[in-house]
Amino acid sequence: MTAEQNETYEEKTGKLNKILARLDDPDTPIDTLADDVKQGTKLIKELEAKLREVESEVESAFEELEDNDDNGEQ
């Protein structure tokens, strides 16, 4: 695994926030903007995937709890 793959959600969010700040800065060079947009898009996709993964894990945990409650009441 690369260091980039090991980054936490919070680290990736921090990177994205820095990119957004550069995009808002009128002094940022055009070439930098193009690279930032590419990197920002990649980070957004990774962050969305992580959110979907966590959401699925949370839903599964709650379903498991409900199943245990249903089995215990019978």
pLDDT digit string, tens, across residues 45-63: 999 999 999 999 999 999 9
pTM over 0.85: no
In a domain, 41, yes or no: yes
In a domain, 4, yes or no: no
In a domain, 24, yes or no: yes
Contacts (Cβ under 8 Å, ≥6 apart) of 37: 23
In a domain, 47, yes or no: yes
46: containing domain: 9-73
In a domain, 48, yes or no: yes
In a domain, 20, yes or no: yes
Say what the pLDDT of residue 2 is.
Answer: 73
Quote the tokens at residue 28.
């940022």
In a domain, 43, yes or no: yes
Number of domains comprising the chain: 1
In a domain, 3, yes or no: no
Residue from 57, 38, 44 nearest 12 by CA: 44
Residue range 20-39: average pLDDT? Answer: 94
